[in-house]
Amino acid sequence: MPTDDNDELKRILKDLPKVIDFALRVSMALRGRPTTTAGESASIIHTKMTINAISAERVSTNNLFDHSAVISICRMVMEAMTLYFYLSEAVDADQWQCRELVLRLHDTSARIKLMRGFKEEQDYEDLLTGKASLRSEIQSNSFFRTLPPKQQKTALAGGQIYIGGMTAAATRAAGWQEKRYLSFYNYFSAHSHSAPMSFMRFGKHNINFSEPSEAQRGAAATVLNVAACCLLRVTMHYLRTAPDAERSFEKSEIKEFEKQAIEQESMLRDVG
């Protein structure tokens, strides 16, 4: 965590809105362009993480300093970067079809779990039929048949978003160093799920939601830095999917954000 957290929190709360503004302008510049199914989904993810970053910034400047809420929102931004780059990976048609079917199966399975709490089975029979159809399509996919049996079983269960797992996607597609990724993800998740790590040291860390302690401010500064890094990396990649749109931005601005992205690489990996 930052040692001079007071200055660090002020700094990131000054820099994050600049990244958010850039992301919004890139989103507007690329809006309405022809794209693939994967590209459309990636565009939605970019928009979603931009809005999440706005929410994190606003919660951080609220009179009620809810550091766990900031951490939880930043976790969404962190996760979104992995999904964006997973969707943006260059894969052949069979593999993309398999990935898309697995995503659709996860969506359908989640909706079934929601319906079980409120409806009788016959009321969501269409979802159950759709789930069975998706499983059949996945099993007939040529890429799926090349996967190890354990991965096949996991994919068909309906609870998987990433073929091969989220950590593999984070390191391969999104560029995280695995230990760094797992370290951040564990910490972010503890606050998102009210795990012991999020409350066992309230007294020791002098937690105060009106006058936040150094520990609270340091934690918020760290996670906001991670969120800014993730959003900037995705925005730069997204912009470069349309070279003509990139040319509509000032070269000096692009150069400055490129420099910032390089400086932030240590957030993702152990550098130096």
Q: Could you tell me if residue 9 is inside a domain?
A: yes
- pTM listed for this prediction: 0.92
* H or E element at residue 8: helix 5-30
Q: Could you tell me if residue 17 is inside a domain?
A: yes
Cβ contacts of 4 within 8 Å, gap of 6 or more: none
Expressed as residue numbers, the domain containing 244 is: 1-89+212-272
Cα 268 to Cα 177: distance, rounded to the nearest angstrom? 6
- What's the pLDDT tens digit per position in 212-239? 888 899 999 999 999 999 999 999 999 9
Cα 228 to Cα 268: distance, rounded to the nearest angstrom? 12
- What's the pLDDT tens digit per position in 109-148? 999 999 999 999 999 999 999 999 999 999 999 999 999 9
Q: Could you tell me if residue 36 is inside a domain?
A: yes
Domain count of the fold of the chain: 1
- The mean pLDDT of the chain is 92
Cβ-in-10-Å burial (0-12, 13-18, 19+) of 92 comes to: exposed
Q: Could you tell me if residue 224 is inside a domain?
A: yes
